[in-house]
Amino acid sequence: MSTFEKATEAVAFLTKDLPEALKKPQVAIVCGSGLGGLAETVQAEPRAEFDYTSIPHFPRPTVAGHAGKLVFGLLGQKIPAVLMVGRAHYFEGHSMEHITFPTRVFKRLGVDTVVLTNAAGGLNSDYNVGDITLLNDHIFLAGFAGVHPLRGPNDEDFGVRFPPLSDAYDLELRRYVHQAWKEIATPQTSRKLHEGVYAYVGGPTYETRAESRMLRMMGADVVGMSTVPEIVTARHCGLRVLAMSLVTNNAVLAPVTRGDEETLQGKDAGELNDLIEEGKAGHEEVLEAGRAAAVDMQKLVVQTLLKAFGNA
Ligand SMILES: Nc1nc2ncn(CCNC(CO)CO)c2c(=O)[nH]1
C-alpha cells in the first residue's frame, strides 16, 4: 500500500463522522513539547478528538509531553483546523516516512497551511529562555546524510522528485506573525520574538559542546530533534509552512574545561562537578519552559492565523 493510499484510508476514517464544518480543515497545527495547550484554544463545539492509536497507520509518540491525539475544531470560532497534540520523532525508532505520515494526511484532508511549533535549544547568544524564534530557514544535517523523508521512489501523487526548499518559509505568514506579535507583546512582556535558523539533529542525545559550537558556526540559531522532516514533506506536497521554536534552554557552547592538574588545581570534587554540569540540558526543564510560555505561543499562533485567514 502506498503512502498516498494509507493517507487516503486514514482520511476516510477521520472524516466519516466529522461535523460538516470540520470536514475540510484549512490549517494544521503541530504542537511541540509542552505546547499541547494550543488544542484547548479550540472551542468546545464543533470539536472532534482522535487518539493516534485509533487512526490507521498513524505513528504513536512515546515522549513525555507528547499526548498523541488529533483535534478537529474551529480556531478563533471561524478557521477549520486540525491540531496534532504530540508528535513522533525519528529518535524513537520510527522511520522518516512514518513520522511525516501525519503531514501526508493533512494534505489529503485538504489542508493548505501547516503551522509547526517545537521546543528548541538556543544557540544564538542573543536568545533567552522563553523567547520565540520564527523560523526562516533550516539546516537538515540528517537529510544531508540521506536520513530523509523523501528518500526512495517519489510519490508523484504528492509532489515532484526534486522539490526546491529555498522558498520553504512562507514570507506572507511570517509578516502576519510580526504584526500579531506587535499586538500581543506589551512593555511588560519579557520574551522576545526573533527570526532564525533551526538545525535538525537526530537525537536523542543533546549536542556536545563542540557540536553546539559547530552548529552555531554553520549559522543555526536554535537546535532541535523534530519539525524539519515535517517541513520538507509539507513543501513536497505544496503546503504553506509556518514554524516557531520556543527557546526552552540554552545549548552549552562553552569549551569543555581542560582536565590537567594546573587548570584544576585546588578544585574539590564539588567544584569539578559544577564545572562539567554547567548548563546541562534536561527534558523536564524543556517541558517546564514550554508550559510557562504556552499561553503567549498560543496567542501568537491564533492571532497570526486570524490575520491570515480570519476574513475567509
Ligand atoms: N541543547 C538542546 N536543547 C533543547 N531543548 C529542546 N530541544 C529539542 C528536543 N526536545 C525533546 C525531544 O523532543 C528533548 O528535550 C533541544 C535540543 O535538541 N538540544
ipTM for the predicted complex: 0.97
- Peptide bond just before 59 cis, omega within 30 deg: no
Domains contained in the chain, number: 1
Decide: 215 in ligand 1 pocket, CB within 6 A. Answer: no
pLDDT in tens, 28-86: 999 986 677 778 877 778 999 999 999 999 998 777 666 689 999 999 888 999 999 98
> Contact, 287 vs 65, CB < 8 A?
yes
Nearest protein CA to atom 17 of ligand 1, as residue:
224
**Residue written as grid cell 513522533:** 88
* pLDDT value of position 312: 46
163 upstream amide cis, omega within 30 of 0: no
Identify the weakest region by mean pLDDT among 97-111, 124-138, 149-163, 287-301. Answer: 287-301
User: Which range has the worst mean pLDDT, 170-174, 175-179, 246-250?
Assistant: 246-250
CATH code for the domain of 261: 3.40.50.1580
- Segments forming the whole domain that contains residue 252: 3-308
b/e string for 44-67 if b means 16 or more Cβ within 10 A? eeeeeebebeebebbbebebebbe
The pLDDT tens digits of the residues spanning 183-239 come to 999 999 999 999 999 999 999 999 999 999 999 999 999 999 999 999 999 999 999
Minimum-distance ligand 1 atom for the alpha carbon of 287 = 15
33 lines ligand 1 (CB under 6 A): yes
Please give the mean pLDDT across all residues of the chain. Answer: 92
Report how far ligand 1's centroid is from the alpha carbon of 170 (Å): 24
- Report the relative pairing of strands 113-122 and 79-85 from DSSP bridges: unpaired
The atom number, within ligand 1, closest to the CA of 224 reads 18
CA angle 239/1/159 to nearest 5° reads 25
Residue 149 vs residue 37, higher pLDDT: 149
In this predicted structure, the answer to whether residue 23 has a pLDDT above a threshold of 80 is yes
